[in-house]
Homo-oligomer: A and B are copies of this chain.
Amino acid sequence: MAERISDAEHAVMEVLWDDSPLTAQDVAERVDPARGWSAATVKTLLGRLLAKEAVRHDVDGRRYLYSPAVQREEYVEGESRRLIDRLFGGRLTPLVAHLAERDALTEQDITEIEALLRELKQ
């Protein structure tokens, strides 16, 4: 469980998180075209994700219908935690401070986050 999902594999997961179950061909058609992948590449990635138990497949005749076996939430949580632990000593505040300094926060971002935090305090 929970073997690390690589970057290329992640692109496949995004397709399945968006809609599933899908055949390998469906996935190949929907995956980010910027990748420029052949259908064979997508099949390989699906195979690896199966081996990692990050997706499952239901048999439909002689093909598979793939679905995510890990939730996006779960993946996002892991990746976020990893980054924040590695770079910010596990604290979110320095990340926000960092982005703020780099002008990476718009006025709207700030307002949204403030509203969010206000809700949290109740």
Chain A residues in the interface with B (C-beta under 8 A):
10, 73, 76-77, 79-81, 83, 86-88, 91-93, 95-100, 102, 104-105, 109-110, 112-114, 116-117, 120-121
Contacts and interface: CB of A to CB of B under 8 A. Distances in A.
A83 B79 contact: yes
Given A73-B98, A81-B104, A91-B109, 11 more contacts: A10-B86, A80-B83, A80-B98, A92-B96, A92-B99, A92-B105, A92-B109, A92-B113, A97-B116, A100-B117, A100-B120
Given A105-B120, A110-B117, A120-B105, A87 B93 contact: no
A102 B84 CA distance: 14
Contacts of A112: 93
24 contacts: A10-B86, A76-B88, A79-B83, A79-B87, A80-B83, A80-B87, A80-B98, A80-B99, A81-B104, A92-B99, A92-B104, A92-B105, A92-B109, A93-B112, A96-B96, A96-B116, A96-B117, A100-B116, A100-B120, A105-B120, A110-B120, A110-B121, A113-B117, A114-B117
